[in-house]
Amino acid sequence: MTMIPLNTSRRFIRGRLGNVRAGLFGSITNTLITLATLAVLAWLIPPLVRWAVLDATWSGTAADCTAREGACWAFVTAKLRFVFFAFYPQELQWRPGLVILILTALFVASAFPRFWRKELLPAWPIAALLCWSLLRGDFTGSPVSSNQWGGLPVTLFVWAICFAAATPIAVLLALARRSKLGGLRTLSILYIEVMRGTPMVAILYVAMLILPMALPDGQFDKMIRAMIMITLFWAAYLAEVVRAGLQAIPSGQQEAAAALGIGYWRTMQLVILPQALRVVIPGMVNLAIGFLLATSLLAVIGIFDLLNAARASATDPNWLGFYNEAYLVVALIYFAICFGASRYSLWLERRLRAGR
């Protein structure tokens, strides 16, 4: 094992400390901003600590919480299961719990380049069908209507499956928008601009009110209708990110591939798209984080995502009004997922050397 010399380590630490000191107090402006930030923190943190820790109620009932002015963490303990699984029957909540584990395992397998093989592609539709069957109870008896689904499994399921399904559609839309075929390019532009110019709430209302009239007998579950429209909506945003990556690749590479006799689709598969997708890793992760937060709009069509389940938990007559605690728990969950995604993006950029 290679040992780092002690002097080198000390110089590295001093250099890092010097950079931090320069960033905080390197100029009059930086010093004023640092002092102002410290003043704001000194004003905010003590009351927050008093509310969240010192005056908090950690166990008991709602009556115990109302007797004190701090946070009611007893509410979180009592309603955490509802926040995670909403109205799903309690004796069957192992199913949505297993859905969370399956989706987490799929995320982990898809995150590391060592698992990027052709076998990973069919794993996504298989996992989607398995999660859907588990939530419905197709193979385990005791069917559960989608009206009772909710919480974290629904948020992760809609986010993962819709984003995965939107990605190949977005690639095709980006290629069509750069196509030399005028009609195909025009259709692609119209689709992208119409979708990007329409609020997601309107898209969800289309899924609930208009799509049933266009489908045979309107028998599709509202969750499926919502996921179809969300996928088509997100594909338009992803298409523009992919198109930016395609434009960043020098045209000479495609011309060289054509000179070697490589066909268009083969050139895209082996030469252009691998480079373009590496370039837009930050943009795709940024959109993925935004789409995760946008799943909270499912509440407008009566689907209890994680945020809506937390809001509903505070309407329980036995625990009425503890919205701050409910929203804080959900905020921490969203932050953990989003912060992990941003750190992963930085790691993947270094891993794939996207900056070179």
pLDDT one-digit tens code per residue, 15-47 = 566 667 777 777 888 888 888 999 999 999 988
Per-residue pLDDT at 152: 92
Per-residue pLDDT at 5: 56
* Angle between helix 306-313 and 152-177 (nearest 10): 150
**Nearest 5 degrees, angle CA 87-CA 139-CA 89?**
15
Task: Kindly indicate the confidence band of residue 242, based on its pLDDT and cuts at 50, 70 and 90.
Answer: very high
Q: What is the dihedral of CA 292, 105, 169, 347, to 10 degrees?
A: 70
Mean residue pLDDT across the chain: 86
d(CA 345, CA 354): 11
Q: Which tokens sit at 29?
A: 């402006």
Q: Read off the pTM.
A: 0.84
Per-residue pLDDT at 10: 59
Q: Per-residue pLDDT tens for 301-350?
A: 888 889 999 998 888 888 888 888 899 999 999 999 999 999 988 888 88
d(CA 122, CA 128): 10
Q: Which residue did the predictor score with more confidence, 118 or 230?
A: 230
Amino acid at 127: A
